[in-house]
Amino acid sequence: MLTISVALAAAAALYLAIEWRSVRETSLLFWSAGFATITVGCVLALLRGSGLLFIGIWFANGLLVVAHGFFLTGVLRFTQDRLSRGWLMIVVVWFALLLLPVGPQWSKVMLMVNSLLVASLTLKASSLLRPHGKSLSVGAVQLRYVLLIHGLFYVAKAGIAITPGTLIDLATFGGLIIQISLVEGAMAIMLIALSMTGTVRYRREERIARLAARDPLTALYNRRALEVRAGHFFKDVSPAQPGALLLIDIDNFKLVNDLHGHIAGDRLLVALSEMIRTVLPERALAARLGGDEFVILLNGASSEQVMELGGLLREQFQQYAGKTVPTPHAVTLSIGVNLFDQPPASLAALIEQGDVALYQSKRSGRDSIRFVERPMADINH
């Protein structure tokens, strides 16, 4: 069984290392290092049959603790958590175990302390994978429970080790608990490795989907992502809960690129996106349609609220642009607003109507807010 564990641990280490080459998730490297350490520990454990008890028992079992330390570190990198310095005491205890004399009378002490160290590291890793206000992926949930069961097994193993009358002989793998431990170890290697891979793959797929939905420069939603989310957004629109679309365009943006360069233009777009995020109410949506054109969808909005939000945006943006990218003509915002109290036929139709209002704002001298429902309204500040 120990030979099988060597093969499984080596395969798991190689498998996770190969996964890392394609995914580049640091957690996989630590998890791979953990299984590589188990491989070395199992190989050294075979030497106890040759009489090398210190290396084959004490040091080999110590490497099991190191391996689970790698597993915990991988989970920490995955969850972006940190441990207190108190956990460094495990290193002190580990070295203290190496100082224990070799002999049958110390086998129970060794097994109990070693099992508690492994259990502490494993149960901590499992607790870090608890959902914090959001659901976990299937792989992360599976990894959490596999580590939980694995840790509880080692707690039980520590308890059995100090039970009177229990046969434990680490030198010859004698005793029922030792045999069960070998079987559990082989099963845990397979389950933990598969769960680790599933956890990271889900995060990678989630990251790819998130990137596909975002504008690469501003990190706001792109038009396609907005269309996907708009359908659900429109379901809540009613006369009692009207919606509003704000179509935003930067006035004289070409002057910024011509006078200050495209990098300065990109910085201005990023600055505007940050301002939009700052003023965006809860449940509202914002996207960059392309170029220097942005859109905001508001729920439960009145014309007064739209004026307040649009006016705040225009004021902040004009101050920022005037200081960072001075031009002969002011760089400002023109906004076309479409208020609606019924779900529209489509987002495209809503944007088209807002575009008409935006064009009217441009024609009337820019730096203004124009409402579709009130064609004569032109509020300048």
pLDDT tens for 335-361 read 999 999 899 888 998 999 889 889 888
Quick one: average pLDDT of 305-315? 92
What letter does residue 288 receive in the DSSP assignment? E
* pLDDT bucket at 301, cuts 50 / 70 / 90: confident
* Start-to-end C-alpha separation, the chain: 80
Which pLDDT value is given to residue 254?
93
Quick one: average pLDDT of 26-53? 80
* pLDDT bucket at 133, cuts 50 / 70 / 90: very low
Is the pLDDT at 320 greater than 50, yes or no?
yes
Is the pLDDT at 224 greater than 70, yes or no?
yes
* pLDDT bucket at 375, cuts 50 / 70 / 90: very low
Which pLDDT value is given to residue 137?
60
**% of the chain at pLDDT higher than 70:** 78
What phi, psi does 236 have (nearest 5°)?
Answer: -90, -5
* pLDDT bucket at 295, cuts 50 / 70 / 90: very high
Which pLDDT value is given to residue 167?
46
CA distance 11 to 9: 5
* pLDDT bucket at 161, cuts 50 / 70 / 90: low
What residues have CB less than 8 Å from 89, skipping those under 6 apart? none
Which pLDDT value is given to residue 380?
40
Which pLDDT value is given to residue 10?
87
Long-range Cβ contact pairs of 201-209 (< 8 A, separation 24 or more): 201/19, 201/23, 201/139, 202/137, 202/138, 202/139, 202/140, 203/25, 203/78, 203/137, 204/23, 204/25, 206/137
CA distance 22 to 114: 35
Give the pair of three-digit tokens for residue 9. 């641990």
Return the minimum-mean-pLDDT range out of 43-52, 138-147, 314-323. Answer: 43-52
CA distance 252 to 332: 7
Residue 213 contacts residue 252 (beta carbons within 8 Å): no
Q: What is the average pLDDT score of the chain?
A: 81
Residue 186 contacts residue 141 (beta carbons within 8 Å): no
Is the pLDDT at 58 greater than 50, yes or no?
yes
Return the minimum-mean-pLDDT range out of 99-113, 265-279, 304-318. Answer: 99-113
Greatest extent of the chain over all pairs of C-alpha atoms, in Å: 97
- 119: nearest Cα among 174, 68, 45, 54: 68
Neighbours of 308 (CB within 10 A): 12
Neighbours of 316 (CB within 10 A): 18
Long-range Cβ contact pairs of 299-302 (< 8 A, separation 24 or more): 299/233, 299/236, 299/237, 299/241, 299/243, 300/241, 300/242, 300/243, 301/242, 301/243, 301/244, 301/339, 302/242
Neighbours of 130 (CB within 10 A): 11
Quick one: average pLDDT of 295-304? 91
Residue 92 host element (H or E): helix 89-98
CA distance 6 to 185: 10
- The amino acid that residue 58 corresponds to is W
In sequence order, the β-bridge partners of residue 336 are 247, 370
pLDDT tens track for 169-187 = 544 444 455 555 655 666 6
- For residue 202, the SS3 value is helix
- The amino acid that residue 313 corresponds to is L
CA distance 33 to 40: 11
Residue ranges of alpha helices (H) inside 238-379 are 253-260, 262-279, 303-324, 347-363
134 or 54: which leads in pLDDT? 54
Burial of residue 22 (number of CB atoms within 10 Å: 0-12, 13-18, 19+): exposed
377 or 125: which leads in pLDDT? 125
Is the pLDDT at 250 greater than 80, yes or no?
yes
Is the pLDDT at 46 greater than 70, yes or no?
yes
Return the minimum-mean-pLDDT range out of 60-69, 158-167, 225-234, 279-288. Answer: 158-167
Which pLDDT value is given to residue 142?
81
Chain-centre distance for alpha carbon 231: 27
* pLDDT bucket at 103, cuts 50 / 70 / 90: low
Which pLDDT value is given to residue 374?
43
